[in-house]
């Protein structure tokens, strides 16, 4: 059998392309702001994770330019050997202080952060207990670990307790959950997760990729939102969203971080974050620290948009975050609506199976602090018009 045979077999993507509703790999021609030029036309950007709008912040951009001039374009090696800059250490110190944790270590991407953290901490006889709607990188991380993976129904604390009861007393257990779930936008039931972790002697890890900068005191994330910063053992997060750069991090007790630095293969055998990315993440973090009103404004805009959609009679998935999903239910309808909106000048993301149930497909819209109410009204009008023109089949 030819290894490449599967590559030439028909794919669902081929059908979408032929129907003119393929929604992926749209090319930006400008910075990722509230309004962008995408494939030659102005679009309102409702499909970005640039939550605080800092990718265009002058001081953040300037920090990247200065780092390029001082350090060059890359580090050409891993942090473990020749790839550690003073800039990396400063970023880790600043982030540890902001998150109120002993220490932080950084990874080259957010995806790699989950791979590196989980594979380092979870051994052969340990258990990983996952929310079913966790990010794909968490699931891939379980494949790198020698531990046993058990899943509980999304935000179902009774099912989580059932999973914890399966863990032998001789095994360690790590409960892993998204803080803010990236597709639906809802927040994990962290108080109950922490209570059950205490009851069964488990540790807790929160993937806060979509929580940092969006919820919690000053944008400190999910644990801060619930007042549980001391109860969460490990934070994971990314720089590619609120911090307007590229990379990721682990925050935990100093000894746990030191162990991971010497046992995480994705960390030890990957080139370190390029200087410009480290500098822009650091500048964005300092900007957030100096402007704690930014997450508050973001939340206000998100609520404004939610209420505007409801006033227009549209069905949304409730959340308290900048992720505002709109139900479209059927997969083909979702793609048709997204294409029509794109033509109307509004860019959104599609949520299709397996990220959503077959009858629960959605348009995923996400807010930026730099959006305006006028732009949100314009986008909401377009969404109402297109959905009314595209009935369910």
Going edge to edge, which strands form the sheet with 41-45? 35-38, 41-45, 346-347
291, HSE (Cβ side, Cα atoms, 13 Å): 18
Residues above pLDDT 90, as percent of the chain: 97
Strand partners, 316: 326
Average pLDDT over residues 212-232: 98
In 3-state terms the chain splits into helix, strand, coil percentages (rounded to 5) of 45, 20, 40
- The active-site residue out of 241, 264, 340, 366 is 241
The CA distance from 107 to 244, in Å, is: 15
Report pLDDT for 391: 87
Q: Is 48 a catalytic residue?
A: no
pLDDT at 192: 98
Q: What is the pLDDT of residues 134-150, one digit of tens each?
A: 999 999 999 999 999 99
What is the reported pLDDT for 357?
A: 87
- Interatomic CA distance for residues 200 and 188, integer angstroms: 19
Which domains occur in the chain, in start order?
A: 5-51+292-389 (3.90.1150.10), 58-290 (3.40.640.10)
Give the whole-angstrom CA distance, residue 331 versus residue 351: 8
Quick one: which H or E segment has residue 170?
none
pLDDT in tens, 262-310: 999 999 999 999 999 999 999 999 999 999 999 999 999 999 999 999 9
> In whole angstroms, what is the distance from residue 256 CA to residue 234 CA?
9
Q: What angle do CA 183, 185, 186 make, to 5 degrees?
A: 125
pLDDT at position 51: 98
Instruction: Collect all residues with Cβ–Cβ distance below 8 Å to 251 and sequence separation of at least 6.
Output: 95, 96, 99, 101, 103, 104, 234, 235, 236, 237, 257
CA-angle at 82, arms to 77 and 88, nearest 5°: 90
- Measured CA to CA, the distance from residue 167 to residue 159 in angstroms comes to 13
- 258 falls in which pLDDT band (50, 70, 90)? very high
- The rounded percent of the chain whose pLDDT value lies above 70 is 100
**What's the pLDDT band for 356 if we cut at 50, 70, 90?**
confident
Mean local confidence (pLDDT), 222-237? 98
pLDDT value at residue 393: 73
pLDDT of residue 392: 82
The residue annotated as part of the active site, out of 48, 145, 182, 264, is 182
Cβ-Cβ contacts under 8 Å for 66 (sequence gap 6 or more): 279
Helices (H), 150-244: 157-164, 190-200, 222-226
Average pLDDT over residues 219-234: 98
φ and ψ at 204, to 5 degrees?
-125, 130
What is the gyration radius of the CA atoms in the chain, in angstroms? 21
Angstrom distance (rounded) from CA 257 to CA 262: 9
Q: From the candidates 210, 240, 270, 287, which is the catalytic residue?
A: 210
pLDDT value at residue 7 = 96
Is 355's pLDDT higher than 90? Answer: no
- Asked if 241 is an active-site residue, the reply is yes
| Dist CA 48 CA 338 (whole Å) | 15
For residue 95, give the nearest of 285, 321, 359, 350 by alpha carbon. 285
SS3 category, 238: strand
**Catalytic site residue 286?**
no
Nearest to 175 by CA among 126, 222, 140, 211: 126
Output the average pLDDT for the chain.
97
Q: How far is CA 135 from the centre of its chain?
A: 8
């Amino acid at each position: 059998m030819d290894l490449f045979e599967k590559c030439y077999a028909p794919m669902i993507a081929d059908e979408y392309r032929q129907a003119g509703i393929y929604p992926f790999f749209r090319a930006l021609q400008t910075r990722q702001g509230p309004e962008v030029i995408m494939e030659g036309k102005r679009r309102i950007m409702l499909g970005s994770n640039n939550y605080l709008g800092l990718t265009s912040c002058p001081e953040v951009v300037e920090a990247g330019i200065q780092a390029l001039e001082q350090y060059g374009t890359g580090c050409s090696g891993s942090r473990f050997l020749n790839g550690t800059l003073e800039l990396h250490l400063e970023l880790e110190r600043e982030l540890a202080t902001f998150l109120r944790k002993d220490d932080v270590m950084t990874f080259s991407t957010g995806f790699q952060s989950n791979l590196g953290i989980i594979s380092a901490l979870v051994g052969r006889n340990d258990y990983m207990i996952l929310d079913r709607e966790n990010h794909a990188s968490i699931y891939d991380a379980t494949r790198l670990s020698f531990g046993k993976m058990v899943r509980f129904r999304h935000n179902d604390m009774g099912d989580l307790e059932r999973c914890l009861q399966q863990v032998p007393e001789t095994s360690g257990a790590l409960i892993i959950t998204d803080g803010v779930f990236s597709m639906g936008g809802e927040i994990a039931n962290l108080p109950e997760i922490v209570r059950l972790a205490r009851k069964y002697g488990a540790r807790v890890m929160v993937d806060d990729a979509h929580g940092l900068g969006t919820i919690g005191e000053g944008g400190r994330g999910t644990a801060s939102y619930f007042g549980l910063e001391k109860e969460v053992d490990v934070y994971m997060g990314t720089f590619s969203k609120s911090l307007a750069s590229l990379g990721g991090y682990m925050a935990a007790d100093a000894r746990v971080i030191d162990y991971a630095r010497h046992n995480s293969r994705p960390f030890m055998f990957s080139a370190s974050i390029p200087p410009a990315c480290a500098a822009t993440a650091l500048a964005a973090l300092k900007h957030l620290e100096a402007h704690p009103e930014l997450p508050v404004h973001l939340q206000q805009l998100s609520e404004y948009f939610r209420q505007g959609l409801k006033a227009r009679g549209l069905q949304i998935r409730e959340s308290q975050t900048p992720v505002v999903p709109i139900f479209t239910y059927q997969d083909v309808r979702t793609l048709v609506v997204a294409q029509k909106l794109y033509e109307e000048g509004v860019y959104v993301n599609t949520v299709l199976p397996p990220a959503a149930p077959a009858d629960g497909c959605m348009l995923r819209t996400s807010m930026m602090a730099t959006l305006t109410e006028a732009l949100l009204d314009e986008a909401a009008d377009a969404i109402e018009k297109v959905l009314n023109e595209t009935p369910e089949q």
